[in-house]
């Protein structure tokens, strides 16, 4: 059995992996949804776009569901404090996600253009809102969230109802939201270059050419903001990392530059933000020279760099508290018991390779350009 | 202090969203296997009518499945958004089966379902059958893990409370997985799903037969559903009885409430067929009882007693008093008192900590509760009797009705005379809502019977909420009701439209309504699309 401290660290890596897996798979579907009204000039265009992800979006969405389940099982305190603390934002994401299963499955079942246009907007919202809000959530985590834990470890928050949503949408968080939205859109645009024919693929290419530099610029801006305009959090004293998790047992202070500490300690860690800066630009370059296959890989690496930077900069914090820093939730004190982490670790070791294997098989079986002719020929089955 | 309106709204929202989700789940669980049977027939015989059957029922499956996925998302979010203290308090145990469900089952089901719908042209017949099989397996495995999680809420085994982390922690995954309650609930629930799907296929096929259209298609679908459904209906009832036996063992409050048994009857206990339970006076008025039957079901013996609610409440009072000692010791432990005597007191009473927490509704400090407050907590400690009593009888009554209907369907179908028994076909259509009513009643019995607990004997429901406000809940509940109604209207519209259109919706040119006009005509595609 692995020791408790190691497992706590492994679970930080695993949750990060699931979130990155979500961005690469389901994030692609969301990016495609966001691009749908802009790239699809007519119904057939839009059917082609939708059918590039049609057979896969449902399986892809399970990355999100599993990431949520893994946070529940591995970091119950984080699941409790974040889902309820971001109540209105979570509802907004949830209601937007509602449009996806029905949007994909119901859209093409009726020919009426009003019906189909309505669902197309549904799919757009279902891509836009979660892509934006997930970034906004990360932006708020970096700044700290106004919550505290009481003596029974019940989380409480400042502000309620819509009022709680407004401060969430502060300028830094909006920049983070735009980064998230743009990187998923770039990923979707790269996918569409791979899976569609001209003129659609050319429109997707034009989108990728614009999105790549935007992401790099926004990410650099966010980096400067974190470095010069924002305080980070730092643990000054607390129980050993392998101790039983008690979030109230440590002392935390706000300190300027604390979010950069990890890069001073481990200079090689700079590779992660470097990926986030370089890869979106490279993805756009690969679109320019018409190599979207490589572009898909660089786009995925770029998202790994961006999500990784957010996680790494905060390490070991997961959800810092701005109103009571000692209530902050960290990798060491927000986790499940040793046994639960062990059981879950083995579940991942056994099942994740199976999942990857059959997912790849499904993608391989459905590979190839999605064409208008193929959809017309299978009009009754295709989305 | 606890706000009763807020707690009631939180519970209403969870119940509404769960009951709504559970409208779509049973059909998915059962119809997926019916699709496997139909497609196996296609692979074995090569007769394209079975392929058309798989594709057509698959279309209806898809319309239902989309809402199952939509509403399932809510369930995963809702523990965190609305039951934050629950998530903190039991996430260590409860979160694991949910996460494993995602990894092991939901990935399998969702990854293959896309190929089920869109892979017909890309896969060989055998490969497609494998895809259908994995979709069915995945959805049923999902149910397994969800019911392992739910079984633990009903009967929390394999775990204990830790004062340092202030939560329940798992100490045996094996016990959680092989929880007897989870096992019987799983088989009972999936079998109920199989009956639901059978009734669905029977009723819609009956409609085609009554209209005299697509007879070959309808009769074959009917026969498969009748055979599958008959086995399932028998299992539901047998396994439901097994649930009753398990309840007698581990969920005595629920069993006594289902039977409206306030006073412990001499063994073997009678079964109450009719009665009007009154939770204020703790009596069942105008009761009609059959001697001996309940004792036989619940204890499988003639001398085993089934404890009544009044006697159970006496036990609860003792446990509440013991829980007060546990709570007191816990407060000392959490404020740095680590005397051996305090730890001993806590360990001696910690099994009753949850009962102590029942007092939180009346006294925040628990330890200084007055005798009146203790009495009130004791009165809260049993589930509401009347809805359980009636919910259970509705579920069982509908179960036997469906067994009879499906049995007759199988009998006449086997004799190839089913199309002549128009009364049966009509009754089947009329009874289409029966399985859904039975499933929803079953859910209510299972989850209301757990009250006042979120986790049986461990965490009271009113403590399990998030720190939100009544306004937050009013806002979100309105949103859910509005959005869900909108989705249900659309779903029913499509379901009815495609069920009426029948296999012609596949656009093969072989079915009712397609032969009179050319398939390629725009009007026909518009309809069939």
Taking only the tens place, the pLDDT of each residue in A360-379 is 999 999 999 999 989 988 88
Cβ distance B476 to A91 less than 8 Å, yes or no, reads yes
E strands present in chain A: 147-149, 155-157, 231-237, 251-256, 317-319, 329-330
* Structure letter (DSSP) for residue B454: E
Residues A92 and B202: their CA atoms lie apart, in Å, by: 40
Across the range A234-261, mean pLDDT stands at 94
What is d(CA A264, CA A286) in angstroms, rounded to the nearest whole number? 33
Residue A161 pLDDT: 58
Q: What pLDDT score does B1 carry?
A: 67
Judged by CB atoms closer than 8 Å, whether chains meet at B123 and A365 is answered as yes
Question: What does the pLDDT read at residue B510?
Answer: 87
What are A115-137's pLDDT values in tens digits? 999 999 999 999 999 999 999 99
Length of chain A: 383
Q: Is B467 helix (H, G, I), strand (E, B) or coil?
A: coil
Residue of B114, B141, B473 to mutate for A, most A C-beta atoms under 10 A: B114
Q: How many CA atoms lie within 13 A of B472 on its CB side?
A: 26
A340 contacts B170? CB cut-off 8 A: yes
Segment holding A231, helix H or strand E: strand A231-237
The two beta strands, A251-256 and A231-237, are: antiparallel
Using a CB-CB cut-off of 8 Å, the residues of chain A touching B165 are 244-246, 337
Residue A263 domain-assigned? yes
The owner of tokens 């891509």 is A127
Q: Is residue A108 part of a domain?
A: yes
Best A8, A61, A68, A147 residue to mutate vs chain B (most B CBs within 10 Å) = A68
Low-confidence ranges of chain B (pLDDT < 70): 1, 515-529
Chain B residues touching residue A109 (CB < 8 angstroms)? 63, 494, 498, 529
How many residues are given for chain B?
529
* pLDDT score recorded for residue B260: 87
In DSSP terms, A330 is beta-bridged to: A317
Q: Is the separation of the CB atoms in B355 and B457 below 8 Å? A: yes
B66 interfacial to chain A (CB closer than 8 Å): yes
A347: pLDDT strictly greater than 90: yes
Give residue B527's pLDDT.
38
* Burial (CB count within 10 angstroms: exposed 0-12, middle 13-18, buried 19+), residue A360: exposed
Q: Give start and end residues of each alpha helix (H) in B155-282.
A: 173-177, 180-211, 215-250, 252-258
Which residue in B96, B119, B166 is closest to A365 by CB distance? B119
The first and second tokens of residue B111, run together, are: 């990854």
In this structure, is residue A50 part of a structural domain? Answer: yes
The whole-angstrom separation of Cα B223 and Cα B418 is: 9
Write down the number of H helices and E strands in chain B: 19, 6
HSE, side-chain direction, 13 A CA sphere, residue A47: 24
pLDDT of residue B519: 42
DSSP B469: -
The answer to whether the CB of B26 falls within 8 A of the CB of B144 is no
- pLDDT given at position A124: 97
Which residue range is the domain that position A8 belongs to? 4-377
Structure tokens at A321: 């508290």
Q: Is residue A305 part of a domain?
A: yes
Per the CB < 8 Å rule, is B107 touching A152?
Answer: no
**B378-437 residues touching A, CB cutoff 8 A:** none
**A4-58 pLDDT, tens digit each:** 999 999 999 999 999 999 999 999 999 999 999 999 999 999 999 999 999 999 9
CA distance A249 to A98: 40
Q: How many domains does chain A have?
A: 1
Output the furthest CA–CA distance in chain A (Å, rounded).
67
Strand partners, A147: A157
Q: What are phi and psi of A40, to 5 degrees?
A: -90, 105
Element (H, E) at B275: strand B271-278
Closest residue, chain B, to A165 (C-alpha): B472
* C-alpha B176, offset from chain centre: 19
Give the residue from B136, B151, B129, B119 showing the smallest Cα distance to B40.
B129
The CA distance from A180 to A307, in Å, is 9
Q: Tell me whether B338 touches chain A (CB under 8 Å).
A: no
Residue bearing tokens 């779509």 = B24
> Is the CB of B162 inside 8 Å of chain A's CB atoms?
yes
Residues from chain B contacting residue A66 (CB–CB below 8 Å): 99, 102-103, 106-107
Residue A235 counted as domain residue: yes
Q: Residue A163: which pLDDT band, with cuts at 50, 70 and 90?
A: low
**Between B77, B91, B525, which is nearest A73 by CB?**
B91
Contact at CB, B74 and A94, closer than 8 angstroms: yes
- What pLDDT score does B278 carry? 87
In a domain, A261, yes or no: yes
What is the number of alpha carbons within 13 Å of residue B485 lying toward its C-beta?
6
- Judged by DSSP in three states, B83 sits in coil
State the CB neighbour count (10 A cutoff) for residue B304: 14
- A365: nearest CA in chain B? B122
Sign, CA dihedral A20-A22-A25-A30, equals negative
Q: Residue A347 and residue B526: Cβ atoms within 8 Å?
A: no
Which of A80, A106, A160 comes nearest B87 by C-beta?
A80
With CB atoms and an 8 Å threshold, state whether B120 touches A106: no
Distance CA B207, CA B210 (A): 5
Which backbone phi and psi does A65 adopt, to 5 degrees? -65, -40
In a domain, residue A383? The reply is: no
């Amino acid at each position: 059995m692995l020791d408790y401290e190691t497992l706590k660290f492994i679970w930080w890596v695993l949750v990060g992996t699931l979130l990155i897996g979500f961005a690469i798979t389901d994030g692609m579907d969301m990016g495609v949804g966001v691009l749908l009204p802009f790239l699809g000039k007519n119904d057939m265009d839009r059917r082609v776009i939708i059918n590039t992800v049609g057979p896969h979006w449902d399986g892809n969405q399970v990355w999100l569901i599993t990431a949520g389940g893994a946070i529940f099982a591995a970091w119950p305190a984080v699941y409790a404090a974040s889902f309820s603390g971001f109540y209105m934002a979570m509802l907004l994401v949830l209601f937007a996600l509602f449009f996806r299963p029905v949007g994909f499955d119901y859209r093409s079942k009726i020919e009426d253009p009003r019906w189909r246009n309505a669902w197309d907007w549904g799919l757009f919202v279902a891509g836009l809102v979660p892509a934006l809000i997930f970034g906004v959530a990360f932006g708020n985590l970096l700044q700290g969230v106004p919550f505290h834990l009481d003596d029974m470890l019940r989380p409480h928050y400042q502000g309620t109802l819509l009022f709680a949503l407004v401060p969430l949408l502060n300028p830094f968080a909006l920049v983070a939201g735009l980064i998230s939205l743009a990187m998923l859109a770039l990923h979707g645009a790269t996918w569409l270059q791979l899976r569609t024919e001209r003129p659609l693929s050319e429109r997707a290419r034009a989108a990728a050419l614009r999105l790549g530099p935007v992401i790099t610029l926004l990410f650099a801006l966010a980096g400067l903001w974190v470095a010069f305009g924002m305080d980070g959090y730092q643990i000054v004293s607390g129980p050993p990392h392998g101790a039983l998790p008690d979030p109230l047992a440590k002392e935390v202070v706000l300190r300027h530059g604390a979010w950069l500490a990890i890069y001073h300690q481990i200079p090689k860690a700079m590779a992660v933000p470097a990926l986030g800066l370089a890869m979106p630009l490279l993805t756009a370059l690969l679109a320019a020279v018409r190599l979207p296959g490589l572009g898909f890989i660089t786009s995925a690496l770029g998202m790994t760099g961006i999500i990784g930077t957010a996680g790494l900069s905060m390490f070991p914090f997961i959800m810092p508290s701005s109103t009571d820093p000692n209530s902050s939730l960290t990798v060491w004190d927000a986790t499940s018991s040793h046994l639960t982490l062990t059981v879950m670790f083995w579940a991942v070791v056994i099942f994740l390779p199976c999942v990857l294997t059959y997912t790849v098989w499904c993608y391989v079986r459905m590979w190839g350009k999605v064409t208008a002719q193929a959809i017309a020929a299978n009009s009754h089955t295709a989305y | 202090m606890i706000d009763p309106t807020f707690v009631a709204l939180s519970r209403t929202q969870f119940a509404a969203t769960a009951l709504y989700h559970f409208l779509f789940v049973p059909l998915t669980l059962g119809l997926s296997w019916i699709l496997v049977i139909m497609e196996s027939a296609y692979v074995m015989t090569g007769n394209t009518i079975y392929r058309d059957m798989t594709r057509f029922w698959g279309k209806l499956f898809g319309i239902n499945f989309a809402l199952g996925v939509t509403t399932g998302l809510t369930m995963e979010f809702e523990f965190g958004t609305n039951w934050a203290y629950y998530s903190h308090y039991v996430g260590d145990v409860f979160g694991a089966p949910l996460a494993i469900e995602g990894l092991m089952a939901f990935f399998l089901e969702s990854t293959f379902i896309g190929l089920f719908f869109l892979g017909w042209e890309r896969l060989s017949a055998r490969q497609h059958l494998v895809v259908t099989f994995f979709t069915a397996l995945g959805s049923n495995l999902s149910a397994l893990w969800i019911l392992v999680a739910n079984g633990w809420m009903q009967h929390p085994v394999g775990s204990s409370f830790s004062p340092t982390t202030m939560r329940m922690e798992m100490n045996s995954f094996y016990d959680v997985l092989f929880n007897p309650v989870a096992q019987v609930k799983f088989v009972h629930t999936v079998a109920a799903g199989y009956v639901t799907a059978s009734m669905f296929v029977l009723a819609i096929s009956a409609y085609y037969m009554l209209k005299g259209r697509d007879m070959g298609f309808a009769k074959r679908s009917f026969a498969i559903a009748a055979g599958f459904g008959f086995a399932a209906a028998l299992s539901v009832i047998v396994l439901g009885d097994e649930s009753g036996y398990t309840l007698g063992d581990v969920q005595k409050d629920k069993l006594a409430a289902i039977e409206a048994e306030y006073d412990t009857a001499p063994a073997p206990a009678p079964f109450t067929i009719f009665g009007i339970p009154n939770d204020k006076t703790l009596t069942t008025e105008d009761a009609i009882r059959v001697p001996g039957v309940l004792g036989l079901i619940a204890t499988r013996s003639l001398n085993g007693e089934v404890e009544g609610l009044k006697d159970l409440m006496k036990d609860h009072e003792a446990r509440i008093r013991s829980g007060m000692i546990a709570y007191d010791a816990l407060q000392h432990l959490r404020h740095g008192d680590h005397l051996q005597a305090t730890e001993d007191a806590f360990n001696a009473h910690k099994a009753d900590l949850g009962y102590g927490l029942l007092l939180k509704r009346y006294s925040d400090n628990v330890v200084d509760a007055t005798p009146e407050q203790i009495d009130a907590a004791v009165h809260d400690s049993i589930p509401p009797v009347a809805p359980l009593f009636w919910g259970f009888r509705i579920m069982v009554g509908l179960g036997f009705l469906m067994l009879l209907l499906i049995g007759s369907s199988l009998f006449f179908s086997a004799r190839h005379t089913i199309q002549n028994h128009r009364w049966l076909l009509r009754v089947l259509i009329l009874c289409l809502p029966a399985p859904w009513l039975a499933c929803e009643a079953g859910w209510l019995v299972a989850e209301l019977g757990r009250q006042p607990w979120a986790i049986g004997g461990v965490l009271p429901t009113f403590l399990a909420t998030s720190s939100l406000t009544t306004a937050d809940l009013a806002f979100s509940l309105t949103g859910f009701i509005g959005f869900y109604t909108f989705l249900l209207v659309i779903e029913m519209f499509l379901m009815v439209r495609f069920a009426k259109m029948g296999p012609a919706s596949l656009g093969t040119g072989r079915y009712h309504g397609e032969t009179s006009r050319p398939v390629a005509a725009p009007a026909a595609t518009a309809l069939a699309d």
